[in-house]
Amino acid sequence: MGSSSPAPACALPRFGATAARRALLRRACWWGSSYRSNRSVYGSEKVEQEVSCYYLADEIRGTYRGMMIAIPPCEWKVFEQMSLMELTQVLLDLAGLVNLRAFLRHPRLEKKTNFRLKRQRPANRPHVSTAKILAQTKAKKLTP
């Protein structure tokens, strides 16, 4: 029995169909330069006003974890071999496929001011505490 070395990362079994892997890779590439790419594709003002950085960061975090599990390192070499201009074009193309509606901000509404109007009492009936009224009632009941 000889010691068997672990299989290289590229020889590991692939998870899911190729189309699913490509979709995951497409999302991952977009997330790498998401904010800037989307600003150049959809317009700076629209992205800054409508896209939630929180939702974007949450999606990047979740997608990154899945990619590191499902995609072996040899699959990433394609991007290492691209020139800067090619990679930029790929990222811009992928950014154009993103559905921005999934990452819309949900701005907080202004707080409602719950103020009560002060009750108007007639001048001839000033305020009397409840304790005084109860004490008077109790005294009347005790007096024969």
56 within some domain: yes
Range of the domain at 80: 14-103
So what's the pLDDT on residue 69? 86
81 within some domain: yes
Query: Average pLDDT of 107-132?
Result: 78
The confidence band for 50, taking pLDDT boundaries of 50, 70 and 90, is confident
Give the chain as a 3 state SS string: CCCCCCCCHHHCCCCCCHHHHHHHHHHHHHHHCHHHHHHHHHCHHHHHHHECHHHHHHHHHHHHHHHHHHCCHHHHHHHHCCCHHHHHHHHHHHHCCCCHHHHECCCCCCCCCCCCCCCCCCCCCCCCCHHHHHHHHHHHHHCC
Count of structural domains, the chain = 1
The answer to whether the pTM exceeds 0.85 is no
**Mean of per-residue pLDDT scores for the chain:** 72
So what's the pLDDT on residue 131? 93
- In tens, the pLDDT along 6-49 reads 444 444 444 444 565 666 566 655 555 555 566 656 666 777 77
